[in-house]
Amino acid sequence: MPVQQTTMDNSSLSTKKGSMCSKESTRETARRKRGHSMATTSPRSAQAKVPLTFPSLSGQRNVQRRKIPDATSSSSGRQSRNNTSSQVPEHSDSSKSAQATNDQGSSQAQQQQSTSLSQTSERSRDNSIQPRKKKAKTHPHDRMLDEYADDVFWERLINNQELDWSMITRTLDNLISQWRSFKSSAAQTTADWRRIESGAVKFESERRKQAEANALLRCARRYDELLTRIGSRFIAISLMSTEVIKKAKVPLQQREDRVREAIVNMRQERRSLRITMNDIEDYLDNAADEDQRQHKQFTHENELLHEQIRHLRQEKQQLQERVAEIERDREQWRGQIQQHEDVNQRLRSQIADQERAHNQLRRQLQDLERQLDQIRRPAHEMPRNEQRRDRPQHDQRAAQNPEQQDDQRNPEEQRRDLRRQIRQITRQIQQLEEARAIVPARNLQERFDQVHPAMQCVFCRAEGQHFSDACPFVSDPQQRRNIIRNRGRCKRCLEHCERRNFCAYENRECSYCSRARGTVLYDEEQGIGPHHAALCRTPDDRARVYFRIQELRQQREQKERELKRL
pLDDT of residue 550 exceeding 50, the answer is yes
pLDDT of residue 516 exceeding 60, the answer is yes
Q: Burial of 508 by CB count in 10 Å (0-12 exposed, 13-18 middle, 19+ buried)?
A: middle
Q: Report yes or no on 455 lying in a domain.
A: yes
Q: Report yes or no on 16 lying in a domain.
A: yes
Residues of the chain above pLDDT 70, percent: 65
Domain count, the chain: 2
In this prediction, residue 3 carries a pLDDT of 31
- Of the candidate ranges 144-153, 164-173, 274-283, 413-422, the one whose mean pLDDT is the lowest: 144-153
Which three-class secondary structure state does DSSP give residue 25? Answer: helix
Query: pLDDT (tens digit, 9 = 90+) per residue, 307-365?
Result: 999 999 999 999 999 999 899 888 888 888 888 888 888 888 888 888 888 878 877 87
More confident residue, 255 or 324: 324
In this prediction, residue 546 carries a pLDDT of 83
Same domain? For 421 and 357 the reply is no
Half-sphere exposure of 458 (CA within 13 A, CB side): 27
Q: How far is CA 97 from CA 16, 92, 248, in A?
A: 16, 9, 36
- Of the candidate ranges 280-289, 347-356, 378-387, the one whose mean pLDDT is the lowest: 378-387
Confidence of residue 373 (pLDDT cuts 50, 70, 90): low
pLDDT of residue 105 exceeding 60, the answer is no
Residue range(s) defining the domain that contains residue 208:
1-73+139-364
- Looking at residues 162-186, what average pLDDT do you find? 79
Same domain? For 356 and 478 the reply is no
Q: How far is CA 532 from CA 385, 536, 543, in A?
A: 77, 7, 19
Q: Report yes or no on 133 lying in a domain.
A: no
Pair 549, 431: CB distance under 8 Å: no
- Looking at residues 64-77, what average pLDDT do you find? 38
Name the nearest CA neighbour of 267 among 69, 91, 94.
69
Query: pLDDT (tens digit, 9 = 90+) per residue, 519-536?
Result: 888 877 677 788 888 888
pLDDT of residue 248 exceeding 80, the answer is no
Q: Report yes or no on 218 lying in a domain.
A: yes
- Looking at residues 541-558, what average pLDDT do you find? 86
CA dist 371 and 367 (Å) reads 6
Same domain? For 294 and 443 the reply is no
DSSP letter (8 states) at residue 145 = T
Same domain? For 155 and 299 the reply is yes
Same domain? For 171 and 59 the reply is yes
Q: Which residues pair with 463 in a beta bridge?
A: 456
pLDDT of residue 82 exceeding 90, the answer is no
Half-sphere exposure of 350 (CA within 13 A, CB side): 6
What's the sign of the alpha-carbon dihedral 235, 237, 243, 249? negative
